[in-house]
Amino acid sequence: MAAQPTFLSAIGSVGSSASRTGEEQLASRAQVGVFEIASEIVSGEPPEDVTRQEFPMDFSKARTVIVLRPAPETVGSSEAISQIDALMGGVEDETVPTRFAYMAARAAIGFAYSPRRLGVPYIVPKLWATTDDVGGIRLLWTFRSKRLIANFGARAELRTYIYYESRKEHGGDTLDGESLRRRLDWLTQR
Amino acid sequence: MADAAIGPNRDFLEADPLFRVLKKKKWLNLDKLPEAFMLGTGETGLSVCYNCRAEHAQTVANLDSEGVARLFHGPVTAINALIDGQQTFLTVVPDAPHHAEIQGIPHKEHDNVEAERLAGELARIAIVVIQNHYRRIDAGNG
């Protein structure tokens, strides 16, 4: 038990006194984005932009303490993929994506959201899936002052790229699963 | 709307409102508003209505649409744009008594970073002023 993380809720209940089942439930919910990790309770002065943080504490029954608070609207991979799938089925105001764009978007999301490649728990703000006028897919995330766009061209000859923007910087990246995962990390970091 | 009653194309004033008709309901959300300022295929500029009231913009544009965003001429033309490596400013070019194009925005196939940046810049100075489902009137029916 000593090596297990202890989860504290946002209202300050100490996880070490909670049942193992309760901890597992919290951990599970954190992974799907119901909570994000914060440090308000321990530090007293919550860093405004910190979304996940582990810090060692001298608790008798736990070595690592994680404080959880309700996360902003977030989704896991299945919900992200279901948004892309929905476009193929036809969504109001949207062009039906090409199969080329659909396959590329699905593959990139599948890779970038893979639990094996993400820190646990990992918070990804809810994405918005839309299309351009020729059937390319555009995935958009916003988090605080940051904006991230993954643009999947409708055809091979059309551009597929990442665009990122914050108050301090903006730019473009090539788009694949790995680069998208890195930019999602950037999106949620301070 | 009778164009003759409004007058010919004219120079803009800084405070002239420009109205961008929003084709998708989701664009009414501020986080998604930048999407309304991306050029479509074959477009040379962003269509805006002017010399009209916000309430009439959807009728003037006659597009299936869900609302209207308002910008002002001055802030639009103060936005820096990078076209083929050259610093310039966005311009508003009237081509009809109620219709103009915001020019200087590249298509994302030409310069994706600048296209996305400018879309964000325009969204930041835009305000959604009308939320209204409008269906276009085909010629002969209206």
pLDDT of residue A7: 43
Chain B residues with beta carbon closer than 8 angstroms to that of A158? 109
CA distance A178 to B10: 51
A123 pLDDT tier (thresholds 50, 70, 90): low
Which one has a higher pLDDT value, A7 or B60? Answer: B60
pLDDT of residue B82: 87
> What ipTM did this prediction achieve?
0.88
Instruction: Determine contact: A173 vs chain B, CB below 8 A.
Output: no
Instruction: Determine contact: B107 vs chain A, CB below 8 A.
Output: no
pLDDT of residue A31: 42
CB contact under 8 Å between B26 and A130, yes or no, is yes
pLDDT of residue A117: 54
A152 pLDDT tier (thresholds 50, 70, 90): very high
pLDDT at position A75 over 90: no
pLDDT of residue A59: 40
Instruction: Determine contact: A94 vs chain B, CB below 8 A.
Output: yes
pLDDT of residue B23: 95
Cα–Cα distances in angstroms (integers) from residue A106 to residues A79, A84, A87, A95, in the given order? 12, 7, 12, 17
Interface of A with B in 60-89 (CB under 8 A): none
Instruction: Determine contact: B112 vs chain A, CB below 8 A.
Output: yes
Strand order in the sheet with B127-134: B91-96, B99-103, B46-49, B17-22, B65-72, B127-134
CA distance A189 to A36: 12
pLDDT of residue B11: 77
Residues in chain B: 142
Residue closest to A55 by CA, chosen among A70, A71, A72, A43: A43
A-interface mutation test, from B21, B28, B31, B131, most A Cβ less than 10 A away: B31
CB-CB contact of B36 with B20 (8 Å)? yes
B67: closest CA of chain A, how far (Å): 13
pLDDT at position A35 over 70: no
A120 pLDDT tier (thresholds 50, 70, 90): very low
pLDDT in tens, A130-144: 999 999 999 999 988
Instruction: Determine contact: B42 vs chain A, CB below 8 A.
Output: no
CB pairs under 8 A between A and B: 50
Chain B residues with beta carbon closer than 8 angstroms to that of A142? 31
Alpha-carbon dihedral sign for residues B121, B122, B128, B132: negative
3-state SS, residue A174: strand
CA distance A129 to B30: 15
Q: Which residues of chain B have pLDDT under 70?
A: 1-10, 139-142
Nearest CA in chain A to B121: A165
Instruction: Determine contact: A45 vs chain B, CB below 8 A.
Output: no
3-state SS, residue B34: helix
Nearest CA in chain A to B38: A132
CB contact under 8 Å between A92 and B25, yes or no, is yes
Instruction: Determine contact: A93 vs chain B, CB below 8 A.
Output: yes
CB contact under 8 Å between B25 and A93, yes or no, is yes
Residue A150: CB atoms within 10 A of its CB come to: 27
pLDDT of residue A126: 85
